[in-house]
Every structure is written in structure tokens, then in C-alpha cells.
């Protein structure tokens, strides 16, 4: 069954328009309760710092309580923290109110099962099948209860710290931390400081409207400027909900998800602690694949979306995977992508080896890659357009074996992503622009 509302990362949209309305959110909670906890249970609900989070939190609370489900309200905390606490509190499901890296006027709702993992496509489709029905309200004696949890940040902090090698700390490291004015604005800098690092926080003053606004992993320019100016060792940037990350080295150079994956994988491989293949996506840089192959490390590609990376890891027995955007999964440390846990693994490698971040990343050569987003007014499947497919075949023939072309519809925005990658940067840019023009014409 095709899904109407669920994308690659939950339900998402502009606040005030369906599906991001109070009425729809209440029905979504009711539908989820009927599918996942039909006999009652407990749900953990967390959020990021968007102003609309108050409205959607109340709507979810009402929908679940009316369906006989007990609610634990966590407040602002990174998405992976909600996944973790869902397990720790032995809840039946977790819900996060966030649109991740999107601007504040968007919001979204993500679900985790009791194991702290994202729902399958089949379960999401089943939830959608109930959305045309009005929200249910049980008899008074069957209603659920709601309570706020004040220990959530401390519990999540202790979990993150426990993923470091025993006895290790971050003493001697000077870190600039960018919280994207989002869910990790408080837990991130405090945790790093507790581990002994000297922390300079930026992007840690949320007002409900400045999440991801010229800060965080999607806008790392200020972080890149700040790190060398204050002579920091490294910069750490989360996105709005704290499940993706990028780092900045001591020179201010951005270290993206592909490079972080290379650092993690090669360090674990050197220790004899790398199990199964490393998993990236169809968008992962070709340089990552070649760098890992040179060290005899198996590399696989999954569909875009950390849920698909996770599925491939589980199917192949791997433990390390991620996306260029910074969704990093270290499966023997956490059940889902976790920006802070991933950052701690990289920082621990820096401490253990005594190497600068630039040195650790130097073993991977990034191929020039151009990504263009073509906004569409109507749904367009690039695979079904003859004109687009002819243009792709022409570009691939021109690149020969020295590059790749990937076209895909975004699962979170009304855009077609055009990616071209190859050894010749000028050629890559020219081909990407040519393909984008064909996509624009096809989408008109």
C-alpha cells in the first residue's frame, strides 16, 4: 500500500497545513495507538525547540490518552535520546516532534518501536489506514494518564557517556559546540564539559523560531570560522533534532558524514573491532568507497535514509553506517543514528591516537560532487520520465567509469535531488546543471 503521509523520516510538513495541524496530529496519535498499543500501554513523547512543538505535543497527548495510552512527556531532547528512553522506561513506543534540519515553520512526527527502532513501511501504512477515522475516545475509566519526566536529560547524558571506552575522557580538548538552537542545545555542551573538555557553545540559545537558522550541521559557516579563531581542536555541530552531525577540524575545514564514516571504520578495523560491511547510501562519495576498498574494508550502499542504512546493517551483520549528511549509526553503541554518540566516538579516536581531526580524515580523497535540488509543483518520479532517463544515460556515458549520476525524489521535501560525481570538477558541475534543466522542464 502506497503511503500518503509518511516519508523517509516520519510525517512532516508546514505547520498549520495538513498534516501539521492539531486535528490531524490527534488522529495520528489515535491511529498509532490502535495499531501499536490497542490494549493500552505507554508512550514516550519528546520534541525539539520549535514553537509549534507545544501545540503538537498537546494534540499527541490528547490523542493517546483518549485511546487509553499512558504518556510520558520528556520535553526538548535529541531524537536518539527519545529512542533510548523508550527502551529505558520499557515503553511501548516513542514519539518525537521535530522536522529535523528544516526551518522552524515546518514540523514533523517520528515514531520508534519499543526497541528504539523506526517503524517499518508496513506498520506506517497500517497507521495511515486509520487516519480517515475520527480519533477514538474510550470510556472514562479506560483513559490513559500523562506525566512529565524531569530526569530525561540526565539519563540520556549518562547513556551517551557510557559509549566511550571505559576510563576515557575528553580532558585537554577544546571544542566549539553548535547546537543548532535545537534539541541538543543543553545536553550537548554540558555532557562534553562533564567529560573534561573546554567547551565554547554557539547555537545554544533557542527562542522557538531560530532552530537551524544559520547554525547547526546544515549551516556550519559560523562554526568553521569560530574553531580556528579560538584555537579550538575541533568543532561539533548537530542538526535541529540531534540525530545528525558534522565536525570541523582545527583549520575550519568541514568533515562530513562520509569522512566521519571513514575515520570510524578505519579505526575500528585497525583494532580488529569492525564487524560486517560498512554501509553508506547511493549518495555516499565515491572516494569513501575507494578509500575503504584500499584497506580491504567491505562497503555497501543502501537507499537514502538512515532507516535503510540501519536495515542493511542488520541484514549484513554490520555495525557502522551513515549518510553524507551526517546521520551516523554505530549499532553496537545505539539503536539509531545519534549525533552525540557518534561525536564521542570520533573525539575518543582523537584522544587515543593523539592525532588531529585533519590527520584522521586525510586518508580519504573526496571526489568532486555537485548536488542540485529542483523544486517541483507536482509529484515526479525521475525513473518514469523518458527525457530525464535519456539525459542520465548521456551523462553516465560522458563520465564513463570515473563518476556516478543519482537522481531521486526527496522523501521530506517537494524536490528532485540531482547528484553528479566524478574526477573532473568542472565536468561534474556542467553535467549537474544540464540534468537539472531537464528535470525542471519535465516537472513544469
Q: What is the DSSP letter of 353?
A: H
Hey, is 245 helix, strand or coil?
Answer: strand
Q: At what angle do helices 187-194 and 152-162 cross, to 10 degrees?
A: 50
User: In which order are the strands placed within the sheet that holds 198-202?
Assistant: 198-202, 174-178, 234-238, 245-248, 254-255
- Is 385 tagged catalytic? no
Residue of 30, 52, 100, 342 marked active site: 100
Helix (H) or strand (E) holding 73: strand 69-76
Query: What DSSP line would sit under 247-259, residue for residue?
Result: EE-TTS-EE-HHH
Query: What DSSP line would sit under 273-327, residue for residue?
Result: ---S-EEEETTS-HHHHHHHHTTT--EEEE-SSHHHHHHHHHHHT--EEE-TTSB
User: What's the CA gap between 147 and 91, in Å, rounded?
Assistant: 13
| Surface-to-core class of residue 221, CB atoms within 10 Å of its CB (0-12 exposed, 13-18 middle, 19+ buried) | exposed
Hey, is 186 helix, strand or coil?
Answer: coil
- Name the residues annotated as catalytic: 100
Amino acid at each position: 500500500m502506497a503511503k500518503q503521509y509518511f516519508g523517509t523520516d516520519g510525517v512532516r510538513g508546514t505547520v498549520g497545513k495538513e498534516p501539521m495541524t492539531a486535528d490531524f496530529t490527534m488522529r495520528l496519535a489515535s491511529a498509532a495507538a490502535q495499531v501499536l498499543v490497542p490494549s493500552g500501554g505507554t508512550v514516550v513523547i519528546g520534541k525539539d525547540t520549535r514553537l509549534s512543538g507545544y501545540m503538537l505535543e498537546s494534540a499527541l497527548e490528547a490523542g493517546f490518552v483518549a485511546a487509553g495510552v499512558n504518556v510520558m512527556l520528556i520535553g526538548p531532547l535529541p531524537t536518539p535520546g527519545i529512542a533510548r528512553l523508550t527502551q529505558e522506561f520499557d515503553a511501548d513506543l516513542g514519539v518525537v516532534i521535530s522536522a529535523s534540519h528544516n526551518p522552524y515553520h515546518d514540523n514533523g512526527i517520528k515514531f520508534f518501536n519499543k526497541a528504539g527502532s523506526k517503524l517499518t513501511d508496513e506498520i506506517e501504512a497500517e497507521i495511515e489506514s486509520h487516519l480517515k477515522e475520527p480519533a477514538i475516545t474510550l470510556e472514562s475509566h479506560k483513559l490513559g494518564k500523562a506525566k512529565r519526566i524531569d530526569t530525561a536529560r540526565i539519563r540520556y547524558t549518562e547513556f551517551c557517556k557510557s559509549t566511550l571506552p571505559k576510563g576515557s575522557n575528553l580532558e585537554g580538548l577544546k571544542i566549539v559546540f553548535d547546537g543548532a538552537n535545537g534539541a541538543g542545545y543543553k545536553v550537548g555542551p554540558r555532557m562534553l564539559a562533564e567529560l573534561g573538555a573546554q567547551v565554547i557553545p554557539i547555537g545554544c540559545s533557542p527562542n522557538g523560531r531560530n532552530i537551524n537558522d544559520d547554525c547547526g550541521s546544515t549551516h556550519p559557516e559560523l562554526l568553521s570560522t569560530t574553531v580556528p579563531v579560538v584555537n579550538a581542536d575541533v568543532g561539533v555541530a548537530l542538526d535541529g533534532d540531534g540525530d545528525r552531525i558534522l565536525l570541523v577540524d582545527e583549520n575550519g575545514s568541514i568533515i562530513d558524514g562520509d569522512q566521519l564514516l571513514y575515520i570510524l571504520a578505519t579505526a575500528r578495523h585497525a583494532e580488529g573491532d569492525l564487524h560486517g560491511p560498512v554501509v553508506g547510501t547511493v549518495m555516499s562519495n565515491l572516494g569513501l568507497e575507494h578509500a575503504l576498498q584500499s584497506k580491504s574494508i567491505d562497503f555497501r550502499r543502501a537507499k537514502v535514509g538512515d532507516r535503510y542504512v540501519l536495515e542493511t546493517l542488520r541484514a549484513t551483520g554490520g555495525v557502522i553506517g551513515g549518510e553524507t549528511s551526517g546521520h551516523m549509526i554505530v549499532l553496537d553503541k545505539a539503536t539509531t543514528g545519534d549525533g552525540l554518540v557518534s561525536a564521542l566516538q570520533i573525539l575518543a579516536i582523537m584522544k587515543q591516537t593523539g592525532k588531529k581531526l585533519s590527520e584522521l580524515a586525510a586518508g580519504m580523497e573526496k571526489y568532486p560532487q555537485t548536488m542540485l535540488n529542483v523544486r517541483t509543483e507536482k509529484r515526479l518520479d525521475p525513473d518514469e520520465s523518458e527525457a530525464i532517463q535519456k539525459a542520465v544515460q548521456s551523462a553516465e556515458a560522458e563520465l564513463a567509469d570515473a563518476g556516478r549520476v543519482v537522481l531521486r525524489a526527496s522523501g521530506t521535501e517537494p524536490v528532485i535531488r540531482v547528484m553528479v560525481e566524478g574526477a573532473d570538477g568542472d565536468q561534474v558541475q556542467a553535467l549537474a546543471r544540464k540534468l537539472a534543466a531537464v528535470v525542471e522542464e519535465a516537472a513544469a
